[in-house]
Amino acid sequence: MQIDIFLFIVFSSFALIASLMVISLSNAVHSVLFLILVFCNVASLLLLIGAEFLSLMLLIVYVGAIIVLFLFVVMMLNIKKASVRQNLYSIVPIGLIIFFILFSQLSSIFSNLDLFSLKQNKLIWVSWIIESNNLTNAQVIGSVLYTKYCFLFILSGLILLVAMIGAIVLTMHQRTDVRKQRIELQLNRSFQGSLKFMALRK
């Protein structure tokens, strides 16, 4: 067995098992951790087929930002197990509907494939280790993104910066009972009114 096929079977099986654990566990923190494992396996599968840019973006954006944010939110909310048990039979129809929709989509994809022509053409597996000397997807996309679309890239960064500043400003809570230092009043104050001499009598 080739190493590419073996790694594909390993990563796909781990992704399938981890995705089943995400929807079956009752603890939200454990579900988020298994979701991180799903994204890591999918990123490995993308790396096997040669899409290293999508693989790295999946790790950086989803695992490095969104899933970690989910994990922090779940841990801060301190979500515990529900005391009232949910009837599993009530969610079975929704699960069956989603299953049949996904199954119909997959069956339509496989029905459009011409398996006879695929057998005649004999699929060629290209190892990404052999192609390591060529230009990668990240280098090609980076050269196009930072040359031809550099203005749009900088503009999108500025829009994200404004959105981040707006979110910080909206979530800041101003306290009215705190006495703050006002520099302009301190600088405009004259020394005649700052000192007061009093005669002490015995």
Separation of alpha carbons 14 and 8, rounded Å: 10
Average pLDDT across the chain, whole number? 77
pLDDT, one tens digit per residue, over 174-194 is 666 667 777 877 777 776 766
Burial, 38: exposed, middle or buried (Cβ in 10 Å; 0-12, 13-18, 19+)?
buried
Residue extents of the structural domains in the chain: 136-171
The answer, as to whether pTM is greater than 0.85, is: no
Length, in residues, of the chain: 202
User: CA nearest 73: which of 31, 29, 36?
Assistant: 29
Burial, 125: exposed, middle or buried (Cβ in 10 Å; 0-12, 13-18, 19+)?
exposed
SS3 85: coil
pLDDT, one tens digit per residue, over 128-160 is 666 666 777 777 888 888 888 889 888 988 998
| Structural tokens at position 113 | 């494939």
pLDDT, one tens digit per residue, over 2-44 is 787 888 888 989 999 999 988 888 787 888 889 889 989 998 8
Which residues, at least 6 apart from 154, have a Cβ–Cβ distance to it below 8 Å? none
Tell me 191's DSSP state. S
Separation of alpha carbons 169 and 75, rounded Å: 24
